[in-house]
Structure formats: structure tokens, C-alpha cells
Amino acid sequence: MNASIQQTAIVTGAGSGIGRAIAHRLAEDGFYVIVADRAEVPALETVSQLQERGFMARAEILDITDAVATQKLIDDAAHLRVLVNNAGIFEVKAFESLTVEDFRRMYEINLVSMFTLSQQAARKLPRWGRIINLASRAAFGARNYAHYVASKAAVAGFTKALALDLGEKQITVNAVAPGVIQTDMLLARPDLHLLRDQQPTGELGVPEDIAHAVSYFADPRANFVTGQVLIVDGGRSVGGTAAF
């Protein structure tokens, strides 16, 4: 990183949960943070928190499915170095009740917007720029939200493909796949107590656990790491908690 110019990181969905923690962590790492979210009040709250801590940040209120708005977001970002595609939606819905519209909406926000923003950013990112995507441990399979699972498995595949496509431009592309993290999104789940019981450590994750992984991929010393999907789930993906 050029030490004399403050580099910019855009974090989508930074008005809440994991995105907010990523915004705080990247600010601590020295980035000027653009908090991009469709929810104005929470986005401004994140910016206030950052400014109170003495960091430089601003909010951009937009829906990431609006390609004109995302292009403006990229155009207006001076010294852009890092794009974190964090914004996403989650919904519990039994397979029998799922509709094509549910699937399309999930894909539109969790995947198609990620493609659009990444393509727009890639035209601007400098050598050794970073694209960091939020996938999910659920990509391995989970019950009662096939549309979400499919969208996050697609994020993992997209991340690997993009890492190859942008290799020549020396832009690294990686993903973090969180396990169960305590955020508002999680409150939508009726099975919270079961999720905790299934953790090898007996603990759910916190947003800062994910922010730490994002910080690693964003670090200027991580140039040789691309196309990776880092699972941050307290060991849940390794196996169950049974003693045999």
C-alpha cells in the first residue's frame, strides 16, 4: 500500500452485523471506509461509530441490485483498493413452499449483484487490489433454505473463477465462509439453541471473527493468496460433536 495516500475500502451491507464489524476492522487497518447499504439509519450509525473512534468514513445509501447506483458508488470511490461484497439476505423457507421468485430474489441479491459490483470494481482496482466475498458454511448443505445454500455455493464458485479471470490484472479474489455468527440475520432462525449445541467449541461466532479473516485477505502482504474460500466456523465443518 502507498503509505502516503489513504486507500479506500467499500464494504456493502456495512450498516449491520458482519459488515459493520468489517468496516471497523478495515478502518483500524488504515482504510478510508465507504459504508454501502440500502438501510440509511444503520449505515449512518456505522459511520458515526467510526468517526467517534477517529476514523475517516462515509455512507453511500443504495440497493446493490441497482447497477446504475453501484457504478456511481465505484466511480465516486477515490483510491479504491478493496471491495468487500458482504451484503446479502437469508430466509428460512421449507423446500415445498419455495417459489421461483424466492430463488430469483435470493440470487439477485446474493450473487448477481456481487457479479455486477465486482466487474465494475475490477475496471478500476489497481494492481494488487482486493475483492473479498461473503460466502457461507451453509454452501456445504443445510435444511430449509435451499435457495440461500445454492446462492452461497455459487458465491464460492464465482470467487474461484474470478480469481483466475483477474489474475493477470493482479487483483486477488477470495471469500470468507462464516459458520453461525451472532447477528440480526441469525434471529430469523428458530433453531438457534440447536446451532449452539452443534458447535465443537460450544460457542457461536461473533462478527469480529469474520472481520479478522477479511482483514487477512485485505492485507497488502496477502498478495499470493487468491481463489480461496476460508471457512470460519469454530470447527463445525470438520465434524459433529459426538465423542465417537
Ligand X SMILES: NC(=O)c1ccc[n+]([C@@H]2O[C@H](COP(=O)([O-])OP(=O)(O)OC[C@H]3O[C@@H](n4cnc5c(N)ncnc54)[C@H](O)[C@@H]3O)[C@@H](O)[C@H]2O)c1
Residues that bind ligand X (CB under 6 A): 12-13, 15-19, 37-39, 42, 63-65, 86-90, 109, 134, 136, 178, 180-181, 183-186
Nearest to 217 by CA among 90, 31, 76, 51: 31
Q: How far is the CB of 22 from ligand X (least distance, A)?
A: 9
- Give the residue with the Cβ less far from ligand X, 87 or 132: 87
Q: How far is the CB of 97 from ligand X (least distance, A)?
A: 20
Q: How far is the CB of 96 from ligand X (least distance, A)?
A: 23
Q: How far is the CB of 37 from ligand X (least distance, A)?
A: 5
Residue type, 193: H
Grid cell, residue 187, equals 434471529
Beta strands, E only, the chain: 8-12, 32-37, 57-61, 80-85, 130-134, 172-178, 229-232
| Helix or strand (DSSP H, E) at 26 | helix 17-28
Which residue among 32, 107, 145, 148 is the active-site one? 148
Helix boundaries (H) for 171-224: 192-197, 207-218
Q: How far is the CB of 235 from ligand X (least distance, A)?
A: 15
- Give the residue with the Cβ less far from ligand X, 1 or 39: 39
- Give the residue with the Cβ less far from ligand X, 6 or 116: 116
- Give the residue with the Cβ less far from ligand X, 1 or 67: 67
Q: Is 107 a catalytic residue?
A: no
146-165 helix and 100-107 helix, angle to the nearest 10 degrees: 30
- Give the residue with the Cβ less far from ligand X, 70 or 226: 70
Residue type, 43: A
Q: Count other Cβ atoms within 10 Å, centred on residue 230.
A: 18
CB neighbour list of residue 7: distance below 8 Å, 6 or more residues apart: 1, 30, 31, 32, 79, 80, 81, 82
As annotated, the active-site residues are 148
